Amino acid sequence: MQNAIEQPAALQTEALAVNYGKHPVLHGIDLTVGPGSITGLIGPNGSGKSTLLRAMAGLIRPRGGHTSVQGQRIDQLSHRLLAQTLAFMPQHPIAPPGVTVRELVGYGRAPFNAWYKPVPIGDRTLIESLIQRCDLQPLADRLVHTLSGGERQRAWIAMALAQQPKVLMLDEPVSALDIGHQLEVMDLLTDINREQQTTLIIVLHDLNLAARYCDQTVALLDGDVVAAGPTAQVLNAETIRRCFKVEAQFHKPIDGCSLCSFSRLTTGVSDRH
């Protein structure tokens, strides 16, 4: 029997290195992200998570190495073709003043249409379907700046999905939300991943969210990969101790999803709180 043809990696980096000025931030990162997966990037503040995400999206010119998306080097793709393949949602996106939710979602079609032409009927249908998919129907004519945090995040996710990307990158999409809205946004992203096979790469601070939602996890420290692979293998006491300088205990609730609790490493000097 003939072997099935393997799909190319959704995204791959080879020796990706980034400097800020003369200061090295990423030290030759090699990563492979499988198609249709959810990959979490974790690590302490300053470890290089957001820099890695931006470099992989082509928003930062690397000092060395390169990134490929679906087998094509991003530095060899036009801006338009890259935007038709990969979408990036920054940590604190800001909409222009006076923009409604429907208009914001429509901006996601910009890579496919000339600005001087009317929006095609098919695009209008897609925009309305995404407004419905992201539960934004009652908010479609509201100004984006009047929305709550969770509502805004859903609107920005709908805009990113309007690009119909094969790879969607999100930089801490839930860090400013309460736990209820965090789960709401992460559930939405997981549903989209399952329904559309969109590859997701997400910077997360909450390790419990990584354990609950991510197929693969990459742990970073000081611009290097400490561990990468299936989340259940990466999220262990040794990795967490090395990255975050805390002790971790793991619990298995009824639904089988791992939860972590943490305590500071003792150094011989008692900490008083």
Domain residue limits, the chain: 1-85+165-235, 97-164
The mean of the pLDDT values for the chain is 90
Segment 60-84 shows an average pLDDT of 95
Sheet holding 224-230, edge to edge: 86-89, 167-171, 199-203, 38-42, 216-221, 224-230
Distance in angstroms (rounded) separating the CA atoms of residues 135 and 132: 5
Segment 57-65 shows an average pLDDT of 96
Contact predicate 155/104, CB 8 Å: yes
Which architecture characterizes domain 1-85+165-235 according to CATH? 3-Layer(aba) Sandwich (3.40)
pLDDT in tens, 206-260: 999 999 999 999 999 999 999 999 999 999 999 999 999 999 887 765 455 566 6
Distance in angstroms (rounded) separating the CA atoms of residues 173 and 116: 32
Q: What pLDDT shows up at residue 262? A: 66
Q: What's the whole-model pTM score?
A: 0.90
